Amino acid sequence: NIDGNQALYLFALPTAGLTQTLSATYEVGVSYTLTLGVAGGGGNLPEGSTFLLGLYYVDGASAVSLGTTLVTHSLATFPVSTTFVDFSATVPAVGAADAWAGKPIGVQLIAASGTGVGYWDLDNVRLEATVVPEPGTWALLGTGAGLLWMAGRRRNVRG
């Protein structure tokens, strides 16, 4: 069932889970996506049990959520309890004025609700950082493409 090297069984008991603050920091102009393979239904996990995955930063002594996704166990979402389904939480491009710019990245994998019966299977945790060009960069690229198009048309008209 679990084939990765980051496997975790998480009991469906509220607040049970894992939070970790990484050494990597939120960089300006970069968006972040946390993706996780989730299998629900282990140990007769009741339908309606929820699991939260998210990204956060620490402000003083408090963890502040930035991007979260709530996963709800149902037979529609998890028809086979041994099949992993990917879920993601995203933080849009960090701006220079954002309070989390330059702060360490935090990861949350937490059972949000449940009775303690059953568990979630978690595997294949991925954190992707994507550089997002600033609007000014897009404007320059658009202007350059427009000028090249006009030069090509002018050359075709003369020739």
Strand (E) positions, the chain?
Answer: 8-11, 17-25, 30-42, 50-59, 62-72, 85-91, 104-113, 119-131
What would you report as the CA-atom Rg of the chain, rounded to the nearest whole angstrom?
22
Q: Which of 68-72, 109-113, 138-142, 151-155 has the lowest mean pLDDT?
A: 138-142
pLDDT, tens digit (0-9, with 9 covering 90-100), for 12-34: 999 999 999 999 999 999 999 99
| Mean pLDDT score of the chain | 86
Q: Is 2 helix (H, G, I), strand (E, B) or coil?
A: coil
pLDDT at 138 over 50: no
C-beta separation of 134 from 29 below 8 A: yes
Sheet strands side by side (includes 50-59): 17-25, 104-113, 50-59, 62-72
Dihedral (CA of 45, 12, 22, 93) sign: positive
- Determine the pLDDT at residue 149: 61
Provide, rounded to the nearest whole percent, the portion of the chain with pLDDT above 90.
62
Q: How far is the C-alpha of 104 from the C-alpha of 88, rounded, in Å?
A: 19
pLDDT at 81 over 50: yes
